[in-house]
């Protein structure tokens, strides 16, 4: 199984990255053979906003030249996408929003159809449900299969490690992936 793990946080070792790391560790210990994990941090990555030019309707590709294209290649090669956003003000962060909007270029030809996705949101106190809703709507629009959403709380770096509910969600999510038929035959051969 090929997994693309995308963290939208500007803090490479922030709470969002720690939740994704927890999911990855659980995956690595699950016994899934041929596991290939690509970790993608959007920190320092240039993803410009969508211009709404709609040139992608004809070409199936976004015409804006930036780092979006290298990230998309990794997403397209993956079977499972773990996508996480910190919550700064009750929704996805700007980098994730740009990635989501620019993925419109993939929507016309349903290039992400059938991929599995685990949305992740981390907030200090509030806003993770709205953030997860944005990520779930993105996945549904692309006809991806949502395994389960994971949220956590943490203000200072590392605080999320103390979130027991988050850890239970991580465990349940990987269990759902493995035990409820969410693995393709290719994943286990």
* pLDDT for 111: 93
Q: How far apart are CA 109 and CA 115, in angstroms?
A: 14
Classify burial at 61, counting beta carbons within 10 Å of its beta carbon; exposed 0-12, middle 13-18, buried 19 or more: middle
**83 bridge partner residues:** 6, 119
Using a pLDDT cut of 90, give the percent of the chain over it. 87
Q: What is the pLDDT of residues 68-119, one digit of tens each?
A: 999 999 999 999 999 999 999 999 999 999 999 999 999 999 999 999 999 9
For residue range 32-57, what is the model confidence (pLDDT) as tens digits? Answer: 889 999 999 999 999 999 999 999 99
Task: Kindly write down the DSSP assignment for every residue of 59-109, as one continuous string.
Answer: HSS----STHHHHHHHHHH-SEEEEEEE-SSSS--HHHHHHHHHTHHHHTT
The region that residue 130 occupies, defined by phi over 0 for left and psi between -120 and 50 for alpha, beta otherwise, is alpha
Q: Which residues of 29-52 are buried (b: 16+ CB within 10 A; e: fewer)?
A: eeebeeeebebbbbeebebeebee
Give pLDDT tens digits for 123-144.
Answer: 999 999 999 999 999 999 999 9
Q: Say if CB 103 and CB 142 are below 8 A apart.
A: yes
Q: Does the domain made of 2-182 have the CATH classification 3.40.50.360?
A: yes
The residue ranges of every structural domain in the chain are 2-182
pLDDT computed for residue 183 by the predictor? 58
164 burial via Cβ count (<10 Å: 0-12, 13-18, 19+): exposed
**Which residue, among 92, 95, 84, 93, has the nearest Cα to 117 in the 3D structure?**
84
Quote the pLDDT of residue 179: 84
- Rounded to the nearest 10°, the torsion over CA 68, 177, 36, 33 is -160
């Amino acid at each position: 199984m090929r997994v693309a793990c995308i963290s939208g946080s500007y803090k490479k070792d922030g709470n969002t990255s720690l939740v994704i790391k927890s999911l990855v560790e659980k995956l690595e210990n699950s016994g899934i053979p041929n596991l290939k994990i690509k970790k993608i941090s959007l920190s320092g990555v240039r993803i410009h906003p969508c211009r709404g030019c709609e040139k992608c309707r004809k070409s199936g590709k976004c015409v804006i030249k930036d780092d979006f294209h290298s990230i998309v290649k990794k997403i397209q090669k993956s079977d499972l996408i773990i996508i996480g956003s910190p919550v700064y003000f009750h929704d996805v962060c700007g980098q994730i929003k740009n990635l989501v909007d620019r993925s419109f270029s993939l929507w016309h030809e349903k290039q992400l159809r059938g991929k599995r996705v685990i949305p992740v949101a981390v907030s200090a106190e509030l806003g993770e449900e709205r953030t997860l809703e944005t990520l779930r709507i993105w996945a549904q629009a692309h006809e991806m299969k949502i395994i389960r959403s994971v949220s956590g709380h943490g203000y200072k770096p590392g605080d999320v490690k103390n979130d027991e509910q988050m850890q239970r969600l991580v465990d349940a999510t990987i269990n759902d992936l493995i035990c409820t038929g969410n693995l393709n035959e290719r994943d286990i051969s």
